[in-house]
Amino acid sequence: MVGLKMNVPAGDLEKIVGLLPSLHAPTVSSLYQSDWFSVETVVSSDTVRDLIPRLMKSGAEGIIEYELNKVI
């Protein structure tokens, strides 16, 4: 499992969230004084390679992939 964090414009938020697998739902936070959101989720490491290009084509920017120590 890996974590993904990205910035998403408000107009693309529903499309991006629809692409994301997650345990329950991704975490979505609004960015300060902006119409952009920060979206964070945990995904299987074997799907992330195909998922990131789809996210970029759908409007996500500044995508960060990070390793997880544990998922409980």
Does the residue 72 lie in any domain?
Answer: no
Amino acid 28: pLDDT: 96
For 26-64, how does the pLDDT look when each residue is reduced to its tens digit (9 = 90+)?
999 999 999 999 999 999 899 999 999 999 999 999 999
Residue 50 in any domain: the answer is yes
Domain of 29, CATH number, reads 3.30.70.120
Residue 14 has pLDDT above 80, yes or no: yes
Give CA–CA dist 42/62, Å, rounded. Answer: 16
pTM: 0.89
Is the residue at 54 inside a domain? yes
Residue 21 has pLDDT above 90, yes or no: no
* Secondary structure element (H or E) that encloses residue 48, with its range: helix 48-57
Domain span at residue 62 reads 2-67
Q: How many domains does the chain have?
A: 1
